[in-house]
């Protein structure tokens, strides 16, 4: 049986396949997926993943993860339901730094540039400074500027 026929056969029985970061997931009515189905999915794993990518209108990027160099997989419903894209399995699991942590990591030159953007009225810089609040002196400046205007 070809991968395409397997997908069609599973589909007729209400079994839907999808891609995860590291393989294939399925949604099936309770008891619908048999041991033989699992074995067939394993046998055709690579071809099924190619089909699912094609169905998503995507092809695997030729480069690895730009952050860590890891292998990319197509992920659906991450970070929010309905979102999808190519991610490595490692990066989404890492904790994201807070704005205060990012601000604390800035060099003197970067802080000077950021301050210049806030003073010049750059809206994004102002929003970041406001979000930093008391952890950043510029947050107080941005908030005062807002009250004054
Ligand atoms: Zn990565």
pLDDT higher than 90, residue 1: no
User: Residue 120: its pLDDT value, please?
Assistant: 92
Average pLDDT, stretch 38-58?
A: 82
Q: Please provide residue 76's backbone torsions phi and psi, each rounded to the nearest 5 degrees.
A: -110, 155
Q: Where are the beta strands (DSSP E) in 28-105?
A: 72-76, 84-88
Q: How far is the CA of 74 from the centre of ligand 1 (A)?
A: 13
Q: Which residue has the higher pLDDT, 30 or 72?
A: 30
Residues within 5 Å of ion ligand 1, judged at the Cβ atom: 65, 67-68, 70, 88, 90-91
pTM exceeds 0.75, yes or no: no
User: Residue 109: its pLDDT value, please?
Assistant: 95
Count of all residues that appear for the chain in the document: 149
pLDDT higher than 80, residue 130: yes
pLDDT higher than 70, residue 149: no
Q: How far is the CA of 93 from the centre of ligand 1 (A)?
A: 9
β pairing state of 72-76 and 16-20: unpaired
Average pLDDT, stretch 83-94?
A: 75
Q: How far is the CA of 59 from the centre of ligand 1 (A)?
A: 18
């Amino acid at each position: 049986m070809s991968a395409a026929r397997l997908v069609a056969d599973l589909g007729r029985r209400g079994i839907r396949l999808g891609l995860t970061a590291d393989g294939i997931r399925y949604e099936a009515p309770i008891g619908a997926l048999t041991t033989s189905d699992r074995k067939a999915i394993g046998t055709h794993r690579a071809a099924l993943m190619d089909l699912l990518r094609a169905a998503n209108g995507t092809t695997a990027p030729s480069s690895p993860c730009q952050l860590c160099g890891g292998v990319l997989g197509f992920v659906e419903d991450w970070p929010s339901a309905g979102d999808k894209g190519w991610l490595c399995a490692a990066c989404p699991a890492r904790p994201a730094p807070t704005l205060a942590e990012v601000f604390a990591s800035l060099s003197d030159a970067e802080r000077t540039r950021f301050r210049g953007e806030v003073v010049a009225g750059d809206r994004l810089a102002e929003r970041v400074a406001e979000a930093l609040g008391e952890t950043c002196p510029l947050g107080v400046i941005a908030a005062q500027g807002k009250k004054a205007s």
